Structure formats: structure tokens, C-alpha cells
């Protein structure tokens, strides 16, 4: 059993506990069921849901695939199996599908707003234990997952800088400890820190919690100093559907958005038994 199947089994065990005592009153009867999406959405989580049903020996068939846009009322998955088992899996499968589809749908809305000019990225603001699924949902919608874990890249943020005192010192220490083993990103909020980050070897600078005009001015000044092309530029903090176009007007590479995962609205779905 791989790690994803272990996670899914843990989710199922968490919901069922020792037994589904309500469904135990049902006869051993083979039935069909459908998972239905009750609003327009980008679907994500089909593969995981099918794997969940298979754990309890139900045959689940995808009627759409991850990344598909569906309209309200669309059937997503057809399931056949013992009625008790289908109902025991129902809530766990729906929870995964609804959350992942909500993330994929919101990610696609942001991508559509910037019309492909800027990469839309998630963050580590995910539900503990659910990061793989949150990140996969972003990827399904053609977003950028960013780092999964702290061991994948060096990202020097404001609290690191508060302890170390300067961008220069942080970068020198990172280079001393790790050399060129990892990409290094530095969070900056001023032109001066951006210049230091570039001069001392950052691969990416993150312009954090700045207004669109501030981002534009810093990027244009870096161009004038022939520094823009030496790094990737990421923007984060306070990004919304209502203002993302203003940020995307600047010559930047990535916009990362924590709300893709930390406060996403789940897509409404339900499971219906078809006798």
C-alpha cells in the first residue's frame, strides 16, 4: 500500500470508527449510486474517491476526469456495490471531492483573470494531513504547487530576517551552509532589500504585502539597473480576484495565493442511490 492509499485509509477509519452502526441495519444488497455536482465547477479528486470506494470493494467508474469543467447537475462518478459499503464511504469521498474541486475551481478563476501572463501558485497554508490533496487540486487546474515541504527549497521570510538582521547576512549564511544545493527565495519589501537579495545570490525574490503600484515601481527600477532578469519575481500577500489584474500588469513571474487552500469554499455535491 502506497502513502496516498494509507492516507485515504486513515481518513476512512477516522470517519467510520469501529463500525458504521447505522448502515448495519441495511440488507446485504447490491445497488448503484451516483455522485452529483450541484454547481458549475472544475473537478478534482476523482481518482482519490475511486480508490476510497475500492477499499470497501465497491466498483466506482469515473464519468468525468480531474480537470474537467462540469455544469450543475452533472454526474461525476458511478458506483456499484454493497449498499452498506457505499454509504460507509460516502461522506469521506464527498469531503475530498468537494474540497479538491473547490480549490481547482478557484485556482482556475485566478488563472483566467491573469490570462496566462503570470503563474498562479499555492502556498503551504493547507489543512494538516491534506497537503497532497490540496496541492494536487491546484495542479489539476494548471496552477503551480510551490514547495510541498520545508526541505525542498530555502525560503527566507520576514521572521528569519528579524532574527538575522539583514538580507545580506541571511543569504551569506545560506550559501555557506548549503552552497548551490537548493534554490533560494527571499521575502523583501523594499527596493534596497530586493537589490541586496539579487546581488548576494537569491534565485527568487518575493515582493510581500505590497500595493500594486509599489510592486510596479520596484520591478521597473530593477529593470533600469539591469537586475530584473537575474531573478524570478514572486508577489504575495493580499491578492484577491478583485485586484490580481493590477498586480499582473507588472513584469512578474509568480503570484502566490494562500486563500486557494486556507479558506476555499467547497463545491456542493451529493451521492444518490439509484435502485
The number of beta carbons lying within 10 Å of the beta carbon of residue 242 is 8
**CATH code, 36:** 3.90.1170.20
Do 248 and 268 have their domain in common? no
Do 58 and 13 have their domain in common? yes
Residue 147 lies in a domain: no
Cell of 50: 475511486
Residue ranges of alpha helices (H) inside 56-115 are: 83-114
Q: Domain range spanning residue 81? A: 3-110+264-274
pLDDT tens, the chain, 275 aa long: 688 999 999 999 999 999 999 999 999 999 999 999 999 999 999 999 999 999 999 999 999 999 999 999 999 999 999 999 999 999 999 999 999 999 999 999 999 999 988 999 999 999 899 999 999 999 999 999 999 999 999 999 999 999 999 999 999 999 999 999 999 999 999 999 999 999 999 999 999 999 999 999 999 999 999 999 999 999 999 999 999 999 999 999 999 999 999 999 999 999 999 87
Cell of 189: 519589501
Do 106 and 158 have their domain in common? no
- Give the count of domains, the chain: 2
Do 248 and 270 have their domain in common? no
CA angle 103, 254, 150 (to 5 degrees): 75
Reduced to 3 states, what is the DSSP secondary structure of residue 70? strand
Do 164 and 82 have their domain in common? no
- Crossing angle of the two packed helices 212-224 and 191-199, in degrees rounded to 10: 50
How far is the C-alpha of 167 from the C-alpha of 206, rounded, in Å?
12
How far is the C-alpha of 179 from the C-alpha of 43, rounded, in Å?
41
Residue 192 lies in a domain: yes
Do 165 and 87 have their domain in common? no
Do 268 and 223 have their domain in common? no
Do 241 and 183 have their domain in common? yes
Residue from 75, 117, 125, 168 carrying the catalytic annotation: 125
Answer yes or no: 125 catalytic.
Answer: yes
Q: What share of the chain is helix, strand, coil (3-state, %, to 5)?
A: 45, 20, 35
How far is the C-alpha of 273 from the C-alpha of 32, rounded, in Å?
6
Residue 136 lies in a domain: no
Reduced to 3 states, what is the DSSP secondary structure of residue 149? coil
What does DSSP assign to residue 74? Answer: -
Residue 253 lies in a domain: yes
Cell of 161: 530576517
Q: Please provide residue 150's backbone torsions phi and psi, each rounded to the nearest 5 degrees.
A: -70, -15
Burial class (CB in 10 A: 0-12, 13-18, 19+), 249: middle
Contact 264, 102 (CB under 8 A): yes
* pLDDT at res. 116: 84
Cell 492516507 sits on residue: 7
Residue 128 lies in a domain: no
**CATH code, 169:** 3.20.20.70
* pLDDT at res. 173: 97
Do 246 and 269 have their domain in common? no
* pLDDT at res. 39: 98
Amino acid at each position: 500500500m502506497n502513502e496516498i492509499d494509507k492516507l485515504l485509509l486513515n481518513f476512512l477509519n477516522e470517519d467510520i470508527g469501529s463500525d458504521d452502526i447505522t448502515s448495519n441495519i441495511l440488507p446485504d444488497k447490491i445497488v448503484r449510486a451516483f455522485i452529483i455536482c450541484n454547481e458549475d465547477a472544475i473537478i478534482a479528486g476523482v481518482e482519490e474517491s475511486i480508490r476510497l470506494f475500492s477499499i470497501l470493494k465497491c466498483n466506482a467508474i469515473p464519468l468525468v476526469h480531474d480537470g474537467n469543467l462540469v455544469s450543475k447537475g452533472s454526474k461525476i462518478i458511478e458506483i456499484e456495490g454493497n449498499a452498506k459499503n457505499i454509504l460507509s464511504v460516502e461522506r469521506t469521498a464527498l469531503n475530498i471531492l468537494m474540497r479538491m474541486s473547490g480549490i481547482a475551481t478557484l485556482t482556475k478563476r485566478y488563472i483566467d483573470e491573469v490570462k496566462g501572463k503570470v503563474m498562479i501558485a499555492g502556498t503551504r497554508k493547507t489543512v494538516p494531513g491534506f497537503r497532497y490533496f490540496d496541492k494536487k487540486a491546484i495542479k489539476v487546474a494548471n496552477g503551480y504547487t510551490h514547495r510541498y515541504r520545508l526541505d525542498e527549497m530555502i525560503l527566507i521570510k520576514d521572521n528569519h530576517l528579524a532574527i538575522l538582521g539583514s538580507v545580506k547576512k541571511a543569504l551569506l549564511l545560506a550559501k555557506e551552509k548549503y552552497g548551490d544545493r537548493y534554490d533560494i527565495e527571499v521575502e523583501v519589501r523594499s527596493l534596497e532589500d530586493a537589490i541586496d537579495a539579487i546581488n548576494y545570490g537569491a534565485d527568487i525574490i518575493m515582493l510581500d504585502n505590497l500595493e500594486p503600484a509599489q510592486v510596479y515601481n520596484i520591478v521597473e527600477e530593477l529593470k533600469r539597473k539591469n537586475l530584473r532578469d537575474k531573478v524570478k519575481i514572486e508577489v504575495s500577500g493580499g491578492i484577491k480576484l478583485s485586484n490580481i489584474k493590477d498586480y499582473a500588469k507588472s513584469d512578474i513571474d509568480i503570484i502566490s495565493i494562500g486563500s486557494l487552500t486556507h479558506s476555499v469554499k467547497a463545491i456542493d455535491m451529493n451521492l444518490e442511490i439509484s435502485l
